[in-house]
Structure 1
Amino acid sequence: MADIYGTNGNDFLNGTSGDDNIFGLGGDDTLYGYEGQDTLLGGAGNDLLEGGYGNDVLNGGTGSDILRDIGGSDMYIFGVGSGIDTVQDWGWDVADVDTVVVGQGVTPSMLLVTQDWATNPGGLTLRLAHTNDQLVIQGFNSMEQIQFVDGTVWDAAAIQARMQQVQTGTAGTDYLSGGFQGDYLQGLGGDDHLWGNDGHDTLMGGTGNDMLQGGQGNDVLNGGSGNDQLQDMAGSDTYIFDMGSGIDTVQDWGGDVTDVDTVMVGPGVTPSTLFVTQDWATNPGGLTLRLAQSDDQLQIQGFNSIERIQFADGTVWDQAAIQARLQQSLTGTEGDDYLWGSAESNYMQGLGGNDSLSGNDGDDVLLGGAGNDYLDGGLGNDVYDGGAGNDGMYDFGGSDTYRWGGGSGQDTVSDTDFSMPGVLDTVEVQGATPNDVTVTRDWGVSPNAITLRLNATGDTLTIQDWFNPHGQIEEIRFADGTVWDQAAVLARLETTLTGTEGDDAFLYGSELADTIHGLGGNDSLNGQAGDDVLDGGAGADQMFGGSGDDTFIVDNAADVVTEFTGDGNDQVYTSVSFSLTGDADIETMILTGTASIDATGSSTNNTVIGNSGNNTLDGGLGSDLLQGGEGHDVYVVDNVGDSVAENLNEGIDRVQSSVTYSLGANIEHLTLIGSAAINGTGNELDNLLAGNSAANILTGGAGNDTYIVGAGDVVVEGLNEGMDLVQSDASFVLSDHVEDLTLTGTGAINGTGNSLNNVLLGNVAANVLDGAAGADSLTGGQGDDTYVVDNVGDTVTEAANEGFDTVQSNITYTLGTNVENLTLSGSSAINGTGNSLDNVLTGNSAANVLTGGAGNDTYVIGVGDSVVEAAGGGTDTVHSALTYTLGANVENLTLTGSSAINGTGNSLSNVLAGNSAANVLTGGAGNDTYVVGAGDSVVESNNNGTDTVQSSVTWTLGSNLENLTLVGSAAINGTGNSLNNVLTGNSANNVLNASGGADTLRGGLGNDAINGGSGSDTYLFGRGEGQDLVQDSGGSADRVAYDAGINPLDLVISRQANDLRLSIHGSTDYVTVQNWYTSSSNRTETIQAGNGQVLLSTQVDQLIQAMASFSQQTGLTWDQAIDQQPQQVQNILAANWQ
């Protein structure tokens, strides 16, 4: 026999033709046994085990494994920790007997045989009742038997007989319906509706207010928590009732006299704590089961519909026993009530207010509720519970029971039996052990009474005349079963010493167990030896315990407790936030009351216990035990020896730890503090795990966990462990089995999903959200976000006015609302569609169809791409790196790259822009604009609109082109053609040459030379446009035209040799008309001011002479005259300008 071992990595191991033992160890391994009788052990990881021929044993170990065999009588090992394994047994020999061997820790009652056609059609699934492990067997008849370690064997018939159709709800409201066979229906959370129908069904409501209907068969109905409706029609049914069940209602409509319907009471309830009551006002004809220790009720409609009540201790009440215990219910109001019972047994509830309850005869239950109540049971064996408030309980005969515990207030009992024989009166102490109760006798106040005091809460029960035989309570019983008789009480009596309302300097106890009350003032208390109780009262008190197990009552944050090492097992009860001094050897500190207060331990090992408020518990140095209560508590952990205890359903609690820590049971949140690289681990609840400023490893559990992470943090989550969320203020990639990611903070960070269906949320900055594999939901924020889409199930959500966003998709995609841009990725021939916004649609390397929408869209295309644009769909632009002709309804084309490619427009008014190479741009019927550079050529047909060339190089208009605009800042030139051109310069010094048409020329900024040619031309000029030279050689209607705001008063006209200069007053700008005085053909026929006034060329010299005469008369230059005598200047101008 060969032994073959793998490694902790991913191994591929082959057996021999003989018998083999193959061990995969760690990693995702593949094991082949081949021939022989082989034993294959996968170990950790997700393994594939194939036995081959022979009688093989396959054990996948942990992880999700595939166990496969093709022949022989094979054994498949399954148990706790196996994970979710799949069996594929393809052997068809009828003589083969294939067996599932169930491991240690699993009994037949814990193994469920289920069938789910949706997930494993034709097969069966074995589930464990107490774990999430499963064995998925493909093919129902492929497994002949199931064998347990206790020797039990199920054959095929037994397997079939146990087959249940399992249905499991969700955390929300579910509707689950069983079939004709036995079903196991689990509602989980929410208000669920469960119908068992036929068969022997088990219905588990879970949390929420559920409706359970068993139907036919002998059914078990357990509503769980919440107020549930439990209904059944036939069969011997069982209804589960326990503490925490809520207020449930049973409606059992079965009429078969042979049926035996049972209420099964949970382990927390004994016969003495279950009351059978009848209230015709609320449940006529029925009965109501009530618990002494909680508000839970089971309302049974129809008195005779339940045949028996069964307790966990084996006690069974039949209908006669139920009838014998029936009590009539009387209920008060929230005000002050007076309730008077009958001579029969009564169940009386005072509720709120200061109530007076009188039971009279019969065995009565008197529940005072809130308020200061008076309870008088009269004769009979009565049960008293004063509830909250300071209550008085009085009885005159019978064996009576007085219930008292935390929150009861300051109660008093007066029980007078006059030595009646057989009487046994009892005090039942709720929720406390003997160590929690102190017994005192105060000689100065009531010498014949004893007082029971709860150390943790301060509640008291004073038993009047206890030292008189007729007033004594015979027994004091505790929840742990301890019973104090008279001797036990006497042995525990303590001496009481009381100070004054002033400052008591020295209150010393004795060598016995003392109770010392300081009362008011700043007191000094010293217990000396013995187990003492020290209560300083009001004021800042000094309390010294001495030897013995001492108890300190603290009610002032300035109180000081002193206890030395070896001085006993000591406790502090505090109703205020309190910190022990550095080395105080106090073993236990307990917070009292309901206020949200805090506690800090000392340098020794402390136990710190919270109250029902929201507490912060810090044990200080040492290995401490921190135990919270019902509130939302915070535990500060700073030592690997610290431990935290929290009960179920006691608030949302958080551990703040400066050391590596794993959450214990019932604690929801973990926050790592400090700056050390430590780690945190959650539990099965919905945890919130937050890292500190270092690199942390955060490991969740079975719940829906939230991780708050930063740079360097690692999240570890197992398979099928809830719906989990990472909140990160740094770029983050989701690890396996984590569903959702939310980016936080204001940094431009990115988020990446995994193979699951992820939900990714961005922050206010520009994020890249990539869901990776799976159908993901991607939601950005206010920044310019990028969404990576790779699955048809991916969804992108973007709100209005939240940046300019881009989808990068490797599948055909249509932009959703409020997303501007789409970029196709990959190399597949996919398509992209825009929306109503101004989109940028970019293709990939394949042939794409890009379809725009109503906005002004931009298409970035390549080889084989086509653009689809509807009429009226905005002003659109194609960016192309190859020769391209615009399709219908697309206005503009921009050539990109550096290749010598060409662009062609359509019938619209196009803007055609070349790239850095030599391009041929061909327009169409519209008014086209050509953006050109060096080497470009423009092709325009006759009568195809009014077209414009925008050039960054010296350019001459070709045929059929009307306008030329020089762009950029280089000193370049422009030349027109025979058409009526508009020539415009740039910001540099340009030369503009028109030809034979009626041209319009503007030099723009810079000192330009402008030649209008032979037509009737217009030269435009404005402020700041430099010193231009106009060369006019023909035409009969040439003019220099000034921009608005330049009026005749702003112009200074002068002769400069043979030229005419037109200067703008107050600036260096002017126009020089060259050779004005050489020939009339060189003159412009008019000069037009910005206000529309015209100066004819024939009036120029007349105006110049008038200006010279005025200057001679006044001694002012014309510029000075404009500033100093504008009205006289206006008179001269008016005589010449028209």
Structure 2
Amino acid sequence: LEVASGSQTHWAGEHFAVYAGDAGGVDGTPERVYADGRNYFYYPQQGWGGGRQMAMLDFNGDGRDDLYQMLMYTTQNQTTYSGQVVGYLNFGTADGSYFQGNAVAQGLSSSFYGLPGEFWTSQSGGFDFNGDGYDDLFQQGFHYRGGYDILDANVVFGNAAGTLLQAGAQPATATQGFLVSDVLSLGTTSSTGKFETLRGGDFNGDGYDDLLLRSYGSTTLSLLWGQAFNTATSYGPDTFAPGSIRGMSIYGLNGLANLADVQLADVNADGYDDVVVVSGGADPAIEIVFGGESSNQPLDVRLPSEASRTMTIKSPTALQGLFLGDLDSDGVADVIALDGNDVHHVVTGANLASGAEVGTATADTLVGSGAEDHLVGGLGNDTLVGGGGSDVLYGGGHNDRLVVTDDGFRKVDGGAGTDTLAFTGTALDLTAMGRGRLASIERLDLTGNGAQRLVMSAQDVQGLTEAPGAMTVLGDAADSLRLAGQWTRLGDADGDGLVDYVSGDGNVTVQVSADVAVSSQIGGGNWLLIGSSGRDTLIGNSGSDTLFGNAGDDLLIGALADSDLVSVDNDTLIGGTGADTLIGGKGDDVFMFSRGDGEDVIDNRGRGLDADKLAFGPGVSADQLWFSRAGDDLRVSIIGTEDSVSIYKWYISPDDHVATIQVANGDTLSHTNIDALTQAMASFGAVPSGEFLAPSEKEAWDAVIAPCWQPNGAA
């Protein structure tokens, strides 16, 4: 979806949406078609109501923008105030079919009934109050109560199911969202206690979007701090009282008396979103309150002590609109204010970023110090190197490389283009980081800096990259990646050295260098752990895990739990090439061994109660295995190769046995027959030198092994 708009008046108007598509539209009969083939559909005026507002956001986290729209319906004229307002959430689709004609094609609805029923939303997308990677929706509804128009606003947390709440309703649980109520106490002097403004942005720079509120007619702005775990279903005026840990208020902005608009963005490149107010009236201006770490005390911009936190830019004409965005693609948000004469007044962010080092329109390399640095690449393929500390790195346009040494940075934003975050530290866990701290990154590079560990989820990718649902992770044999949530390994289908992993919902694809050790869930609590080409230690958990060591001398541990009180399921351990050690732990484990895997050791850790199995791969038959005793261990060799697998302490205790050995055709050998088979083979002397026995040897050989092996399918 490219554009969505609703009417700016309560009494009349229409909605329209524009999206890129063929001239045939989503149902072959678009309402209107632009000359370049883009279609747009609209909802005409309904009675005296018509459309109110629209918003675009990825509410269900599938990487596509969803369309939220508010429609007002009535069968009476405005003097009777009879009617309702319904909000629709239409989920985005691959073909852009948000709706067909005037009928909602798909999605959910949320309604608020009142006299008159009405509600607003004030921002499209990008608002993530709880930092879970889903865009959250704020909505409001008002009605008469005690002689006043009362409007309650709620925030509905985005979720995979796309579940909405009634506008102005209090959620049943804090995990669904929250209600902000009793708005008459939020600094308003008007008899109409309703919100006029809701906005989102990270004012205090903690990585979670905060909610900015203003009651109708109020000269106060209030901020509710975003947080990872919402703790309440309702917030009242005490939330913004002095010293509150949940929010704060801003006083003294002249423009609030004749407010045209207010929004948040980082316009001075310090990593904090700033509050920008534009106003009309007799003294129009652009007023900026710069964000920063908050003491949770009220901020009165009229005080001399707060002079550094504010800036006022006078306007010759009354302002009516505001847009904050990177107009010149230099990496810093610009302020674009619109007056009634269709004149745009632009204040570039680069001119406000006095504390930042800003690059040029060509390729720059900007290197920070060990202290806090603000680096802005500008245009060109830039390299920005943070030196540690609470750094802010903004790439700007083109394909940039941004380097951080740890996870202590305040904000990193690649901007437009295909941008790479190079991490040179030890561990980077995106699942534990406020998602607002990292944005517009399409590649994560762990190479060449020792052993780096990266943890991320599908929702991290959705909130991080400009390319919907796509991320590339580069690294070498020392590096590891843990994919939180459920994933499927597709392999390297195109032979480019990158292995594809797809999230459980199918919306995210991560391409990973083949050398990087990867662990991911393969369903429920079950994990797939894949080692690198180096020496890996792979440890499963309590699920039915698959551990694949890949190349190198690896240690594979099915589960660390030894207590019988801990439930540990059945694991599959695959050493791969190299001298690997495979430890099954509790559960009925399968140890896989194939030609070319080298010399592996199975340590069954006294788990005689389990039905463990040693399974040989393709091309290995019963008559190609040689059993021998090596000290206290049982060694099983593939005749004619250097490949063997030893079962540690086999001759110390039966509890160290595997229950069965299975070859490629499914024939099995019980552990109770192995000692007799080993003794019989010892009578032949040395291991036969060829893969296959001579005819004179095979007859005697078959007579030894046939009674011990159980054919596949035999009872």
- Choose between structure 1 and 2 for higher RCO, CA contacts under 8 A separated by at least 6 residues: 2
Could you state the TM-score of these two structures normalised by the residue count of structure 1?
0.27
TM-score normalised per structure 2: 0.39
The structure whose Rg is larger is 1
